[in-house]
Structure formats: C-alpha cells, structure tokens
Amino acid sequence: MASAAPDSPASLLRRSPGSISRRLLVAATIWIAALIALGGLALDRIVTGTIVRNFDAQLSVALPAMIAAAELDPFGDVRFNRQPVDPRFNEPYSGLYWQVAAEGHLPFRSRSLWDRELPADFTVSCVEPCVSRSGNFRNEPLRIVERDGIIPGSPVVWRFQVSQSTEQLDAQVRDVRRTLWLSLGVLGAGMLALAVLQATYGLMPLRRVSAAMAAIRAGRMSRAPTDDVPPEISPLVHELNALLDHNEKAAEDARMHAGNLAHALKTPMSVLTNEAAANSPDLAQAVVRELSTMRRHIDHHLARARAMGRRTASTARAEVWPSLQRLVNAIERIYAEKGVVIDIAGDRQACFRGERQDLEELAGNLIDNAAKYGGGRVFVTVSQDEGNPGFVSIVVEDDGQGIPVKLRESMFERGARLDTGKPGTGLGLAIVRDVADIYGGSIRLSESEDLGGLMAILRLPACPSSDKAG
C-alpha cells in the first residue's frame, strides 16, 4: 500500500497531533523563551558593558594628573610634585592604587600598595590607555588602566598605572544581572499568561461550535447558531450548516426516490397479481410487458442513485474532449451499417466538474439518440456557456426529422418515445435530465439551424480555471 506523500495534508495532520490550544501554547512558549533569552543576553551585554566602561573611565581620570605631576628627582627616580587627591591612595590596602614604573627602575608606588606592586608588561605599548584585569593580589581581583608617558629629562618611557579592586564592580554587575533576569522572568511569565488567556478565551467560539455539533448529533439542535459568531469562523459555521442542509436534502431525495420506485413497481406488480389470480390466457404477454416496465423504472432509479452517490462524495474532474472522442468512436462502430458520421468541434480544454462515467452517460445518450433517429450526420460542439463561464455546454445536432415543439418537454418523461419502431426503453432523455439536475446543470431541446434536425443543449458545471483536469 502506497504511503502518503511527505508533504501531503494527511501526513501533515499525522505529524501535528494534539489540540489547537496545546499547539498554540507550545509555539508561544518556545517563541517567548527564545525572545527572553536573546533579549536578556543582549541587554546583559549592553548594561554590564556600560558599567565596566564607566568604571574604567573613572580610573582613567587620574592618569593625566599623574603624568602632569611626574618629575625626576636628583637620583633619576620619579616623584610627584603634587600627590593625587583621593585619600584612598594613602590608605594601605584600600583597594585603589597607582604606580609609575619603567624597565631598570624601581617602581614608584602609592602608599595604599604598601608592600606590593602592580604587574607591568613593558613589551606591550600603551600609547593609548590599556585596560586589563589582574589576579596577582590574593583575594583581590584588580582592574588596571595604564598608559605610557615621557617625563622631561628622562631617557626612558614610564608606565603610569591606576588600579582598583573589582569587588564593588562585580557586586554591582551581579545586582544588575539579578534584577535584569528577574524582570525578564516576570515579563515572560506575564506573556505566557497572556498566551494561555488567548488560547482559552480566543478559542472559545470554536468550543461553542463543537458543543453545537454535539447537540446536533444528539438531536437537541438542528443547525449551528450563526448569531454572535466571530467573522473568522463564521464561514466555517455557514459551511457546516450548508453541509447539514446538503445531507438532509440527500436523505430526503433518497427517501423520495425509494418511495417513487416502490410506487412505480406497485402498479405492474398489481397487474401481474390480478392476471395470475384470474388465470388470464394472456399471462405470458402481461409478464413480459410489466417486467419491461419494471426494468425501465429500476434502470432509471439506479442511474439516478449512482449519479447522486458520485456527486455527493466526489471531487473528481473529467476532460470533456477525450470522453467525447471515445463515445464517437464507439457509436460510429455501432451504426457503421447506417453510415453515421459524427464530427466534434469546439473547446478541447473544456473540463467537467464531476465523474467521467456520468459525463459519458449523459453525452452518450444524446449522441446515441442523434445517431439512431437522425439521417446519418451528427455534429457535437463543446464550448464555455455564454451566460455563465462556470458552465460548459455540449450541443448535439442531427439531420433527422426533429421533434415538434409541443412534444419536446414530454420527451423527458420516463418511457416516452417518438419512434416506437426502433429498439429502446425511452429512458435516455429522462436519465439525462435527472443526472444533469443532480449536478446543477440542465438539458433542453431545440431545432438545429445547420442540420435541420434536433438540437440537444446539455449544460454542466465546469472545472474552476485553476483546477482543470490534467
């Protein structure tokens, strides 16, 4: 057994089980979580970056003052002609330090460093301020801002450094991150609550429609209410009601035709019963006559029932031209001795919105009648209906004697025949009219201007322009 195509509607439905509410909530949860995560990471990077840059900017403020106050003492070492003003530079282990160093010289340090010194990598040029982290001091991570400077009279380049413990910086970053992610968590929870509200309140009309369908199935209602229905699902409700109307009409038609068939068979059966009870000498002829009548009724109702069943359950499409060609080939062989010639013209792309078997039964009856009762010439024309582009017309003309206007309507009655000298049941046109009615089409008889005989105009629904049979 062939499996469904990977992207067919059936396979998509099998891959997407569960209720609409659950799918909406899962999609909303994934989307909200992704947005919160990406937005949180971006905000975290922006906010913490801003805090760190402000921290570095405050450290960098002291560097120009240190460079401007630096000078050489008589021994060639660096001294400040004025000390940095922040009192923490004079408090041992205060967490705020400065240092001036050069290769081959002892570093000039702030009192706050006490017995320690800041690391300096002289292989790296710091003409512009350099920023780095250091873990050289035990239990005291540092943030160091350093810059190279030249002191008048000194042949070496001095490294000016300002450093501060990142304890407060790290605490501030942690507080900001905690607040940020807590706020985003509350925002995400609120958005999920909104998604739950949308999935429950927003889908409530669908639940009402489902309840209405259950009530219809239980017999408490006949149709789904159309009042107070949102415009998004109003077409669904109307289509459901239309489907119920269609099914009700189909059931009523089935009951009516069953009753018609029973009524039509009752009379021949009564005749046969009376003939048999009276021991009539013409019993054999009566049996043949009444059985022929019963067969006509049964054939007519079976043809109509087949058409109704296919019309109710089918979305088939049938190309008109190939079907007509098959019919013409078959009918020309049947009436080869009579020399019947059948010509087809018109729209080769015409498409009938229905079953091919019904199309061939409809057109076959008309073409067969034209070949049987005409003079040997039959002309079939296919075209789009002039009055309604949603219908296709099949016109069958012959060169026979035609049918008088006053008798044309009666020819659609079951068993009606104009020429009783030729074989037939008189059901052809009756079946054509009934099956055409089932499809929403029509059949009418007229006079052929070109051939002089009868012209039958069959009008059937056409395929939508985007749905032609291929």
Q: Are residues 72 and 160 in the same domain?
A: yes
d(CA 356, CA 325): 13
Structural domain boundaries, residue 143: 61-165
Sign of the four-CA dihedral 323, 326, 330, 333: positive
Confirm whether 207 is domain-assigned: no
Total number of domains in the chain: 4
Could you report the per-residue pLDDT of 327-338, keeping only the tens digit for each? 999 998 988 888
- Residue 216 is predicted with a pLDDT of 82
Give the SS3 label for residue 105: coil
> Minimal CA–CA distance to 313: which of 354, 366, 341?
354
Contact 82, 69 (CB under 8 A): yes
- Do 183 and 95 lie in one domain? The reply is no
pLDDT digits (tens, 9 = 90+) for 332-391: 898 888 889 999 999 999 999 888 888 888 898 899 988 988 888 999 999 987 777 789
Are 111 and 180 in a shared domain?
Answer: no
68 and 153 within one domain: yes
**Amino acid 426: pLDDT:** 40
Are 319 and 177 in a shared domain?
Answer: no
Quick one: which of 321, 451, 326, 319 has its CA closest to 379?
451
Q: Taking a C-beta distance cutoff of 8 angstroms, is the pair 397, 448 a contact?
A: yes
419 in a structural domain: yes
pLDDT digits (tens, 9 = 90+) for 435-458: 888 888 888 888 888 888 899 999
Produce one character per residue of 348-363: b if its CB has 16 or more CB atoms within 10 Å, e if not: eebbbbbbbebbbbbb
Rounded Cα distance, 69 and 202, in Å: 72
Q: Note whether 383 and 349 are within 8 A (CB).
A: no
**pLDDT band per the 50, 70, 90 thresholds, residue 203:** confident
Q: Give a yes or no: residue 50 inside a domain.
A: yes
Please identify, among 310, 331, 351, the residue that sits at the C-terminal boundary of a domain: 310
Last residue of a domain, which of 279, 310, 341?
310
Mean pLDDT across 247-254: 74
Is the pTM for the entire model greater than 0.75?
Answer: no
| Beta-ladder partners of 319 | 351
Query: What is the CB neighbour count within 10 angstroms for residue 273?
Result: 10
What CATH code is carried by the domain that includes residue 427?
3.30.565.10
Q: Is the same domain home to 68 and 158?
A: yes
**In terms of domains, do 272 and 329 share one?**
no
Question: Do 142 and 92 lie in a common domain?
Answer: yes
Return the pLDDT at 421.
43
Query: How does pLDDT run across 261-270, given as a tens digit for each residue?
Result: 666 677 778 7
Same domain, residue pair 441 and 356? yes
Is 95 exposed, middle or buried (CB count within 10 Å of its CB: 0-12, 13-18, 19+)?
middle
* Strands 96-101, 157-165: pairing kind: antiparallel
Instruction: Assess whether 421 and 287 both reside in one domain.
Output: no
